[in-house]
Structure 1
Amino acid sequence: MESYGDRHLYFFNQNHILYEKLTMPSTSSFRFSPYLLILFCSILHSAQAQRTQKPPLHGKHWMAITGKPLAATAGAKLFNDGGNAVDAACAMLAATCTMWDVLSWGGETQALIYHPKLKKVIAINALGVAPTGATVDFFKKKGYAFPPEYGPLAAVTPGTPGGLCYMLAHYGTKSLASVLKPAIEMAAGYPIDAQTANSIERGKDRIKQWPYSKDVFLTHEGEEREAPEAGELFVQKDLLLTLQKMINAEETALRAGKSREEAIMAAYDRFYTGDIAEEFVRGSQEQGGLITKADLANWKPIEEEPLHVNYKGIDVYKLQEWTQGPALLQSLNMLKHFDLKTMGYNSASYIHTVYQTMNLAFADRDFYYGDPYFLPKTPIESLLSEDYARARAKEINPTQNNPLAAPGDPYAWQGKKNPFSALLTERAKLLDTAGSGIKDFVPKHDATPTVTVANPNTLSAADLSAVDSAYMDRLLRGTTSVEAADSAGWVVSITPSGGWLPACIAGRTGVGMSQRLQSFVLDSLISPFNVVAPGKRPRVTLTPSLALKDGKPFLSFAVQGGDTQDQNLLQFFLNVVEFGMTVQEASEAPNINSNQLWLSLGGTKIADRKPRPGSLLLDKRVTQEVVEKLKTMGYSIQFGERTSGPINAIFFDEKHKTLWGGSSNNGEDYGIGW
């Protein structure tokens, strides 16, 4: 029980979610009656009896959590065979790709690894790059506003096979054959889950455009339901052969006297330069794709230094600015200047402060983030500086939403002139102060027609619902996450993605191609750092997280959900650190989402991705009193049943030397601990 003010007593369950409010007289002479005392005790007992919808996971030796229960089992198998957290994470990654858990083998992998011997966090950049020919002129001549959402022209080079091999070779202990064994068994036939089977059925019209995809996915072609049924054994013969070829390459290298690491990289070479690469390129180009053999051969995963900030004694690590991860770090830097605990969990002032902070961080993300290996160079040091955060925090109006939240000027904190000041001025003129976002900036596009909202008042309720549904799909478009830890101190957090359904499969490889090219922009007015170019990585939403306390692992956490990822992860972290929730409570607790940002995925035109100032998603459990207060602050409010996102997390209990696992009630994600 917590008390706020003189007239109300608020009761929270274990999730810190308000479930009952008792109004009380304001007179100071008020005393409890016996009947009120009985009611009070009854309410308090009910609050304490509340439980999370999923039980927390506990383990002494290891923890494996990911997007599908079968894939978590794959991780458990590696742990039971004596593998470390990297081995288990790679097995889960391979399994989720094979199960098409909103990704496939042709997608991309982003990872943070805590190395217990080096006592440091290592970042793995296994994101593919734009292929030869993927230029602004190429796409604009085809009438695109962004690179397309689907098909071979949406593909960057595959990164997941290379990322998996690199992590396993350098930081794992097992052979590739051991790690891929569960995935190979699945490719030979696994009982497909309803979610994936139904996703295939929904996307079957698009799948029919691609001959290799049709052969794999439409197992009942010509029938009323052409996709597999839930529980049906789903067989992927081509993928099975591709994975077996990689294992064969490893075995051949081992027989030739190569080391474990060299043998794994021999499998890598077969994928990127051997017969697998040849068939991938042939199948891609046959269907109109741009990827060349040189694109595959020249691509390499990169081991990087992660970025981090300290929040109240906790070091939070994210990948570099080719992801949106630094937006969470910027947000934490700004939130240091507010007393969130005193505001109260999900109070109007708390929601407003977090929303405004995220808007400023995402405005910087939208304009300044991009591939750090290309020019212009992102001013990331200034974006993460304490002085810059303090100045940005002062921009927040404590009582009203700012619909014009814009990128800041980090160059000023380097003592330099902003080279993009003129561009920012031009960009600011496009903001619609009426609250509908960016206006008068509509490049042509040749994709599938969608509902245009020139005047929302002219649309029917059904049309508006369709527009909002499509928008929310783009905002929340998913991936999966992989979390693993062991008693030796290894920790892995991965947010892989790409090649999701409906996927275009490259030839007879069984490998679905990535759709990540759509995260580039074609106009520097949106972002001069993220304009498409051959060999360049798009700025992605994918964003694993690690946190250390006193130099030891404290939290490993990740989530799916497009542009909402670092929004949900920020609130998850605050739930644990500021409000004392367990990882399971924090992963289920109601979050908010802001739509006042440029979407990174989907849509057929600029209007589909533009910011929606003041648009706020709340959980239905937020009290009406808070809702009404937020409306007076300039918010347009939507509600959701579950708003935490499918967060997966591990907490390291230093007191008891055990592991806690948390997995949100918003999805199929779950884990196994021992």
Structure 2
Amino acid sequence: MQKFTTRPEIRGTFGVVTSTHWIASAVGMSILERGGNAFDAAVATGFVLQVVEPHLNGPGGDLPVLFHSVRDNAPGVLCAQGSAPSSATIEEMRARGINDLIPASGLLATVVPGAFDGWLLLLRDYGTMEVADVIEPAINYCLNGHPMLPSVASTIADLQTFFEHQWPSSAQVWCPEGACPQEGALFCNPDLGRTYQRLVDAAKGDTREIRIDAVRATWREGFVAEKIGEYLATANVMDASGQKNSALLTRSDIEGWSAQFEKPTSITYHGWELFKTGPWGQGPVLLQALQILKNFDLAAMDPFGTEFTHIVIEAIKLAWADREAYYGDPKYYDIPLETLLSEEYGRDRATLISDKASLETRPGRIAGHEHLADAAVFRVNRRTEVAGNAATGEPTMAHLTDVKGDTVHLDIIDRWGNLVSATPSGGWLQSSPVIPGLGFPLNSRAQMFWLEEGLASSLTPGARPRTTLTPTIAYQNGRPSLAFGTPGGDQQDQWQLIWFLRLVHYGLDLQEGIDAPLFHSMHFQGSFYPRNANPGKMMIEETIGEEVIAALRERGHEIVIAAPNTVGRLTAARRHPDGQMQAAATPRLMQAYAIGR
């Protein structure tokens, strides 16, 4: 039977690369062609994404990676989510007049920048190439230019006046000589190119590993940390709170931090084993949702019908309620993850789903943690429909902000069978002022902490903010098989869940599933400023059909209809038992691409 998709099914045996920008995908494939492995290609792809999608990620941002290593014959997690500064306390925030929400922009919300060190740690321990090999493409695009995306040009145009009056270092980089970049025109960032080159030049030593560590030290202890520290010591800038604030981050915070490897969390589902980050990310919510959905005969439902959509949305509400109650950095908080991911807990949660849309926030009540469930309900009730402007927060495809975009993602499989799935984010051009001379801004990830004591996600010095970044890898029948993910803030695991269910239960191929109509819930507590909740509300692409939309409304869902091909930015790569590989990329926003041979 002929398949009708927006893109061809990319298949091959040598390797596949898919990412949210065609240039980055091409660079990743070029690394595979030169003999690099999936880890080398991922690092090169990631650095190019920092250059060509600067409104969505940057070297001052954060990075989680899920991977399968053939050498280790095991899955792993790279956590390059920077931690809160040593002076970042609730008391300090209140002393500055910040009593409710940490502002979503400026310097006060900045945590340790983690992406750069994370990419180099991945290169050192799992790659094969030198730093120069993987960063040279990014340097080239910084110095010689890349075609400016329409979304980047419009974002900068919207912020030009603000930059000129409040963040002049950003105006100098993004509006050189006072002019906004034009859509499709070549855009250069020579300051960032020179920063990358100075880092590459620091690669000295007798072995590849020593040379990479020398570059990491130059970032953490050399000129990069020095320039960041000098700027933050005196900078006092306007942010989303409506007042000027200085940073809590210091040079010593950067010097004392490094990325790390961890074991993933996982569950099995209909012959698949899925691997996600720990509860410092939102990844376990997808696993929780699957444990709930095991209790329904999804295969008997229409994958584009009312019943499927309703059941999945209701499972999402329950899992995400638990996220808000219980997730945080397990190094600092007691997270009942074993209970949350158990089949028994999933069965209990499934009994709460009826034929009608729930309008309640219903985290599970876990023995010894009941106060966290109560606090989550209280917060949602307090934040429900709070008026505010989210335009300076997470640039997701939430359709409710003035900022268009989201974050970035990549999936890569090489001919040896290594799998890499990464979702870099943070350090957006609209998040924070550019550090003078370096060509990039810092992040605003601390906005995900709460300024209340005793919560799993309370602001705590040294703790990781509970990020939304959530790549995925999966084994089928014990064999490493699948890497997938998407940008999109709170929607990331929702869109991945829907795509995965259609793959497993209905046999939709990679591109078919990506092209299919998507939906997501807006019911739960948002992760980004102003952290609104919208009980009962969901968004769905109109291509699902008027009949389904009407039936969902009858069940009590408040529907926001999205235009066709405007929800989700999934990419995916798969390795089959015969050695064939596939890759697919979303047509939404018309910039993601899959490549392979």
Regarding TM over 0.5, the answer is yes
**Contact 1:484-1:492 at 8 Å conserved across structures:** yes
Measured against aligned partners, the alpha-carbon deviations of 1:526-560 in whole angstroms (never above 9, x if no partner) come to x8111112211100100000000122222100100
The code of the aligned residue for 2:327 comes to Y
**Alpha-carbon distance between aligned partners in 2 of 1:572 and 1:440, rounded to the nearest angstrom:** 30
Once the two structures are TM-superposed, the CA of residue 248 in structure 1 deviates from its matched residue by 1.2
Matched, 1:671 2:594: yes
TM-score (norm 1): 0.82
Measured against aligned partners, the alpha-carbon deviations of 1:390-410 in whole angstroms (never above 9, x if no partner) come to 11111111x111211311023
Matched, 1:282 2:239: no
Q: Which residue number corresponds to residue 157 of structure 2?
A: 201
Residue ranges of structure 1 left out of the alignment (5+ in a row): 1-47, 412-417, 432-436, 444-448, 453-467, 604-608
Flag the 1:385–1:451 CA change in 2: closer, same or farther, 3 A.
Answer: closer
Flag the 1:50–1:113 CA change in 2: closer, same or farther, 3 A.
Answer: closer
Flag the 1:214–1:144 CA change in 2: closer, same or farther, 3 A.
Answer: farther
**Contact 1:474-1:602 at 8 Å conserved across structures:** no
Match 1:584 to one of 508, 511, 518: 511
The 5 A counterparts of 1:406-485 are 406-411=362-367, 418=368, 420-422=369-371, 424-425=373-374, 428=377, 430=378, 438-439=381-382, 450=388, 472-473=400-401, 478-485=406-413
Once the two structures are TM-superposed, the CA of residue 194 in structure 1 deviates from its matched residue by 2.5
Match 1:272 to one of 217, 220, 224: 220
Flag the 1:471–1:535 CA change in 2: closer, same or farther, 3 A.
Answer: farther
Match 1:89 to one of 39, 42, 62: 42
**Alpha-carbon distance between aligned partners in 2 of 1:350 and 1:469, rounded to the nearest angstrom:** 23
Measured against aligned partners, the alpha-carbon deviations of 1:628-661 in whole angstroms (never above 9, x if no partner) come to 2212211111111225511010022224x21111
Q: Which residue number corresponds to residue 510 of structure 1?
A: 439
**Alpha-carbon distance between aligned partners in 2 of 1:304 and 1:474, rounded to the nearest angstrom:** 37
**Contact 1:475-1:564 at 8 Å conserved across structures:** no
Q: Which residue number corresponds to residue 40 of structure 1?
A: none
Q: Which residue number corresponds to residue 449 of structure 2?
A: 520
Matched, 1:158 2:125: no
**Alpha-carbon distance between aligned partners in 2 of 1:128 and 1:529, rounded to the nearest angstrom:** 17
Measured against aligned partners, the alpha-carbon deviations of 1:265-320 in whole angstroms (never above 9, x if no partner) come to 11000000112210111123332322212100111111000000000110000011
Q: Greater shift after overlay, 638-647 or 544-553?
A: 638-647
**Alpha-carbon distance between aligned partners in 1 of 2:61 and 2:382, rounded to the nearest angstrom:** 33
Q: Which residue number corresponds to residue 573 of structure 1?
A: 500
Q: Which residue number corresponds to residue 469 of structure 2?
A: 542
Q: Which residue number corresponds to residue 344 of structure 2?
A: 387
Match 2:259 to one of 294, 301, 320: 301
Identical-pair percentage: 30
Residue ranges of structure 2 left out of the alignment (5+ in a row): 236-245, 391-395
Match 1:661 to one of 567, 570, 583: 583
Once the two structures are TM-superposed, the CA of residue 442 in structure 1 deviates from its matched residue by 11
**Alpha-carbon distance between aligned partners in 1 of 2:89 and 2:384, rounded to the nearest angstrom:** 20
**Alpha-carbon distance between aligned partners in 2 of 1:302 and 1:266, rounded to the nearest angstrom:** 17
Q: Which residue number corresponds to residue 13 of structure 1?
A: none
Q: Which residue number corresponds to residue 169 of structure 2?
A: 212
**Contact 1:59-1:660 at 8 Å conserved across structures:** yes
The 5 A counterparts of 1:215-364 are 215-221=172-178, 226-250=179-203, 252-253=204-205, 257=206, 259-287=207-235, 288-364=246-322
**Alpha-carbon distance between aligned partners in 1 of 2:372 and 2:133, rounded to the nearest angstrom:** 53
**Alpha-carbon distance between aligned partners in 1 of 2:289 and 2:388, rounded to the nearest angstrom:** 34
Flag the 1:579–1:387 CA change in 2: closer, same or farther, 3 A.
Answer: same
Once the two structures are TM-superposed, the CA of residue 357 in structure 1 deviates from its matched residue by 0.5
TM-score (norm 2): 0.92
**Contact 2:413-2:574 at 8 Å conserved across structures:** no
Q: SS where residue 110 of structure 1 aligns?
A: strand
**Alpha-carbon distance between aligned partners in 2 of 1:427 and 1:315, rounded to the nearest angstrom:** 30
The 5 A counterparts of 1:56-67 are 56-67=9-20
Q: SS where residue 416 of structure 2 aligns?
A: coil
Measured against aligned partners, the alpha-carbon deviations of 1:107-132 in whole angstroms (never above 9, x if no partner) come to 00100110113221010000011123
Match 2:26 to one of 53, 70, 73: 73
Match 2:426 to one of 474, 477, 498: 498
**Alpha-carbon distance between aligned partners in 2 of 1:489 and 1:65, rounded to the nearest angstrom:** 16
Q: CA RMSD in A?
A: 2.3
**Alpha-carbon distance between aligned partners in 2 of 1:184 and 1:422, rounded to the nearest angstrom:** 50
Flag the 1:371–1:425 CA change in 2: closer, same or farther, 3 A.
Answer: closer
Once the two structures are TM-superposed, the CA of residue 66 in structure 1 deviates from its matched residue by 1.2
